[in-house]
Amino acid sequence: MDKKDAYLKRINYQGIPKCDFETLHALQCMHLQIVPYENIDIVQGIPLSLKIEDLYEKIVTRRRGGYCFELNALFSWLLRGIGFNVVNYMARFLKDEPEIPMRRHRVMVVSCKEGDFLCDVGVGLVVPRRPLPFVHGKVDRQNGEKYIIEKDNFLGNVLYEWRNDTWRELYAFTVEPQLEQDFIAISYYCENHPESIFKAQEMVHIFTKTGRKSVAGKEVRLYENGSVDVLTPTSLAAYHDLLQLHFGIVL
């Protein structure tokens, strides 16, 4: 089995992938439900590598997750291997920020016969599960949520989510294509700077078909059908058991 097929097996994709929206949609949805967003290595002080061979070993072979610079890098590699045209961009994560933050997020625009689509499998929050048409002013409704991309003279392309009866900024990016090496420095900052939010506590997130699961600190929260169950482990071993049971993470 070659590496591309092993990656497809990792996210439970069956069939022959094509360069169309149906395939892209399925790949993104399944990725979000199988591969967790997680920053555990950063919190534990384990150095990250953004080399594709190292990301493949971590995410596919060891069945771990990662954060945006890891997950979106390997997902881009998979899409290109299938035949999609992929352009990567640096983004500013704007949600709940009091002022414009630095660029510390990675996104991609993927082209197929149906058009261009914004794709992202590297956010540990409620985000679009399916690719969004890269069209300004078009509302996209999915899973009871609403999203729209608007143009801003400074921020470039701003992704908004409908939250609390108003449009709120999620993240923004300008269309300056990035090379893989362009993400190394900012990922190093996120991994090592003492003020980085990624060092503060473990953040783990994965979607389910009808909800999502997340970790805040050592508390595991299960969101299903509008309700939430909170699991508080009483020991480190119990926490590790919950990580394996709900996120497939074996430390």
Residue 41 C-alpha from the chain's centroid:
16
Tens of pLDDT along 27-67?
999 999 999 999 999 999 999 999 999 999 999 999 999 99
- Give CATH for domain 3-198: 3.30.2140.20
Question: CA–CA separation, 246 vs 244, rounded Å?
Answer: 6
- State the average pLDDT over residues 217-236: 92
**Residue whose structure tokens are 């992202």:** 120
Domain boundaries, given as residue ranges, for the chain? 3-198
Question: CA–CA separation, 208 vs 104, rounded Å?
Answer: 26
Question: CA–CA separation, 42 vs 208, rounded Å?
Answer: 25
Report the first-to-last Cα separation within the chain, whole angstroms: 26
- State the average pLDDT over residues 189-193: 97
Tens of pLDDT along 105-150?
999 999 999 999 999 999 988 889 999 999 999 999 998 899 999 9
